[in-house]
Amino acid sequence: MGFEKFGQVSFAAQTKAAAFVEYLEKGELRGTKCKSCGRSFFPPRADCNFCLNSDMEWFEIKGQGNVISFTEVNYGPTGFETDVPYTLALVDFDGVEVFGRFDKKVPADRIKIGMAVKAVVNELPNGQISYEFLPE
Ligand SMILES: [Zn+2]
């Protein structure tokens, strides 16, 4: 997937948004898995775009992931202008690709392809709940 999608992904468009946030509030980052073909999705999907089944179950994304790619963002989208710079990364968690931000305390020059990270749920200053990556 391209990095152009980062920062403007709408979980609402993927449905299941309410449950996703409820899990975050419990400190769990979750995706959905198709009960029919077994494919996993992040962000969570309400139905499988491979076999078109809509019998999905939640699974937790936990443990160690490995950085697939990353990019430093120096120009924020509208509403995030004061937030830059930050680093966005695509991380593989046991075959599930999860995109997100690195903790801002981690300098971009410390981040490397293949580096081990974990996803940590965090609360943003505006009260929104999100998640970020930290070196494992
Ligand atoms: Zn499926």
Number of H helices, E strands in the chain: 1, 8
Asked if residue 98 lies in contact with residue 91, where contact means CB atoms within 8 angstroms, the answer is: yes
- Answer whether residue 15 shows pLDDT above 60: no
- Ligand 1 center to residue 61 CA distance, Å? 18
- Ligand 1 center to residue 96 CA distance, Å? 14
Backbone dihedral angles phi then psi of residue 43, each to the nearest 5 degrees: -60, 155
- Ligand 1 center to residue 48 CA distance, Å? 5
pLDDT of residue 46: 87
CA dist., res. 120 & res. 97, Å (int): 15
Map tokens 């996703």 to a residue.
20
Which of residues 1 and 108 earns the better pLDDT score? 108
- Answer whether residue 13 shows pLDDT above 90: no
- Residues near ion ligand 1 (CB < 5 Å) are 34, 36-37, 48, 50-51, 53
- Ligand 1 center to residue 15 CA distance, Å? 17
Q: Report pLDDT digits (tens) over 90-106.
A: 999 999 999 999 999 99
Q: Report pLDDT digits (tens) over 48-76.
A: 999 999 899 999 999 999 999 999 988 87
Predicted TM-score of the model (pTM): 0.83
